[in-house]
Structure 1
């Protein structure tokens, strides 16, 4: 691997494609002398960039085999994950500190009065380890579109994932972290020609297709590509279907495989996506059975079929009260289906997946500043409150419209304001939460039950980092897409 694969971790607090220095809780990492001023217990401070000379020479190697790790193997190098924490200024905190505790401390130390995220990079690590324990046959390729946060991408790269990219910009973002192109799948079946040429230029060779016109584009712009035929395999109970837009019908697959062969293009496998928010544990197993038939057709036509991509659609990763991972039922179904339809006796097949929400939902929490308040009496004589916040449906809360999200709001007191009166704490009232734009439809919630809050306090949403800021826009001139992120590490 050449020097271009070297990782440079001077990476930014902003999500997306920025490259500025990471945000920390304060101007300096707290020393033991001032730890008693924190409202949460704080562990050892992470080193600064200047303390770690190895940060700029970390290399993320190409993945080999069916999975990055097998159950029982040692975890990734602690030096790699530590370097990521160091590079992003992740503050170590006590394991029992909640995201709301962290956000309150950030407000106290920074004097914030605008939107920000707090992001626990150790959650990413724990979810990755949980994935490889319950589904060791499947290598995760994180769906960058879910949340292109650079800290999370760097942590996933250090852990050993690949990356599902859907545009030239996403490919460049991943490459900028030092990840080799071999760890990228360009998972978009209908790509712009300019993006195809860019993928060819940077060496991103693995991509998907589901129609013949895509083959003719690829043979001209990227003839050395390795192709996965995306098939339609919907979970009828999924929250959002993908099959209405992407995926070849099974009866179309033989023709497409023959067309690729005639153009001397290499089809190396099959991909599918059961739909976002799939609810059936057997949805992937049913799709794996369909993929086996397409594999056999490809092999009969002379294609070297060696890769299966089982797509995304996985729920946000969570550890349950008994310590088990919520992915376990789906994982068991997938592993059983792979053993049945793709046994080693029929040839080595590498299996990957494209989880986004699984990794992206839980690590991040969002705090919105209250810019205005209003109390009104209803016709029935009861009180209602309105809160005008620093972000709304055009920003991180776009997930309410496009992802059917139902975020749970809670009040977060600003520790720099005078303490609230006991009556204000107890005075719960139905409240409407408005975003900052002039659009009357910019409403995040209409009946949130909240205590009496003030201008300068915050509204807080935990577990809101999947398909949130990734879709934000700066409508009306509000820079909601540039919200800062403060990284921390609760446990590893």
Structure 2
């Protein structure tokens, strides 16, 4: 049944069909009629397995639709998934089966992707400043595409990985992005020529240009300006004798629901496609890739947290307020509250009684606390929830991006070693 759903909803070669089917079989994926059924699936598993701990539901069907959306909207751009966003093996294997490449930023990420059988040609070691030992490891592993934005990095590559192809990373900020990166990475335009000259003197192969407009970017024109800047650097490189052949658009792609409710990329594809036609026309011999992470991961993962404790008290307005302690918090899979501008939405799952929508009179002013003894471990200081009991659950949709990837086991509460359940909606 899952395989039939896959064939109906994906545009892929017969080889890719076979690889996708193998992933679905490997993870015993449960087919669902649609994304809304994730809550019912989770509730059934909680009751069936008598669960009392945090777990994720990973929707590989959503990942497949997002991949189809991306390649359909940007037909000249090959996505290289940013592994740091959500390195969950099922998601990685699904994207690999669909033909995606991978943006890895460490030896651990390289090891995970290579271990799945992904060839080095589908990997970019996209960290502009790498530890020397990891540069040597990449050379030994045959990963021959990387990035750099300083003379010091070029010198490291010339010493320990001289055969690698290098993309010169330039600064290209979208000021409206949720997380800007230009303060840390990306050569200023005025420095690009000097870096190219240094690379030539070191005997390195500058293969092209990369940039990153910022995580969660919202302004399509940021890509327009960045592609125009990349063209200027391409011209500089060609003038110095480099074979400039690869453009990396980086990340920053945000999943915005379209008019039909399906995922889309807003006005970004139109801006990118127009800029590519203007500066890197088809047939010019330039391959184009990008490094989407959040776009693929965010709506693929749903976090489920158990209610472990409860307290009633008077609200400041004289009404009733209920505090709940749940099995995860800001040190674990909800860490994005503090460093990724996350505003979680809590959906109640009442495990021990019918999960019907509560009457308005049963809803109370509530707070959700994480499990640690730190007073800062607050998930939601104010929300409205129906009456919950210890053993019930709270569901957080859209928690695939920058959640498990950044979790820690602070205070002895295990948040990294969580259960993953895979579905295909």
Q: Give the corresponding residue for 2:82.
A: 143
Contact 1:425 1:452 in 2 (8 A): no
| Matches of 2:403 and 2:11, distance apart in 1 | 35
Distance 2:331 2:76 in 1: 39
After superposition, what is the alpha-carbon deviation per residue over 1:32-59, rounded to whole angstroms, capped at 9, x for unaligned? xxxxxxxxxxxx488xxxxxxxxxxxxx
Of 338, 343, 348, 2:276 maps to 338
CA–CA separation in structure 1 for the residues paired with 2:339 and 2:72 = 32
SS of the residue aligned with 1:339?
helix
CA distance in 2: counterparts of 1:187 and 1:475, whole angstroms: 29
1:413 equivalent to 2:332? Answer no
2:388 matches 1:453:
yes
Distance 1:258 1:45 in 2: 54
> How is 1:60-209 mapped onto 2 (pairs within 5 angstroms)?
77-95=16-34, 97-209=36-148
User: How do 1:37-436 residues align onto structure 2 when only pairs under 5 Å count?
Assistant: 44=1, 77-95=16-34, 97-315=36-254, 317-322=255-260, 325-344=263-282, 347-414=284-351, 417-419=352-354, 426-436=361-371
Query: In the alignment, which residue of structure 2 is the partner of 1:24?
Result: none
Unmatched segments (≥5 aa) in structure 2: 4-9
Distance 1:400 1:294, change over 3 A: same
Report if aligned partners of 1:396, 1:471 keep a CA contact under 8 Å in 2: yes
SS in 2 for 1:118: strand
Pick one of 375, 399, 415 that aligns with 1:480.
Answer: 415
Three-state SS of the structure 2 residue aligned to 1:388 is strand
Displacement after TM superposition at 1:281 (Å): 1.4
Secondary structure of 2:208's match?
Answer: strand
Verify the 8 A CA contact 1:370 1:458 in the aligned structure 2. Answer: yes
Moved over 4 A (4+): 71-76, 418-426
Summarize deviations over 1:268-308 as a string: whole Å, max 9, x none. 00000001111101111110000000000000001110000
Secondary structure of the residue aligned to 2:416 is helix
Structure 1 window deviating more from structure 2 (374-383 vs 234-243): it is 374-383
Partners of 1:379 and 1:260 in 2: how far apart? 64
- C-alpha distance in structure 2 between counterparts of 1:436 and 1:124, whole Å: 30
Q: Displacement, 1:429? A: 1.1
SS in 1 for 2:335: helix
Please report how far the alpha carbon of residue 95 of structure 1 lies from its aligned counterpart in structure 2 after TM superposition.
3.3
Per-residue deviation, residues 115-134 of structure 1 (Å, max 9, x unmatched): 00111101111111111111
Instruction: Give the C-alpha shift of residue 250 in structure 1.
Output: 0.4
Q: How far apart are the structure 2 equivalents of 1:431 and 1:167? A: 41
User: What is the CA distance between 1:326 and its match in structure 2?
Assistant: 2.4
Q: Matches of 1:156 and 1:422 in 2, distance apart?
A: 36
2:357 and 2:156 mapped to 1: Cα distance?
A: 67
Q: 2: distance between equivalents of 1:150 and 1:378?
A: 44
Local SS of the residue matching 1:362? helix
Whole-angstrom CA distance in 2 between matches of 1:401 and 1:119: 23
- Contact (CA 8 Å) 1:312, 1:355: kept in 2 or not? yes
- Partner secondary structure for residue 77 of structure 1: helix
With the length of structure 2 as denominator, give the TM-score of the two structures: 0.95
Partner secondary structure for residue 307 of structure 2: strand
| Aligned equivalent of 2:379, options 444, 462, 469 | 444
What is the CA–CA distance in structure 1 between the aligned matches of 2:93 and 2:156, rounded to whole Å? 32
Q: CA deviation at 1:410?
A: 1.5
Distance of aligned partners of 1:213 and 1:427 in 2 relative to their CA distance in 1, 3 Å threshold:
same
Is the 1:424–1:452 Cα contact (8 Å) retained in structure 2?
A: no
Offset, 1:405: 0.9
User: Number of matched residues?
Assistant: 419
Partner of 2:7: none
Distance 1:275 1:379, change over 3 A: closer
User: Separation in 1 of the partners of 2:17 and 2:378?
Assistant: 44
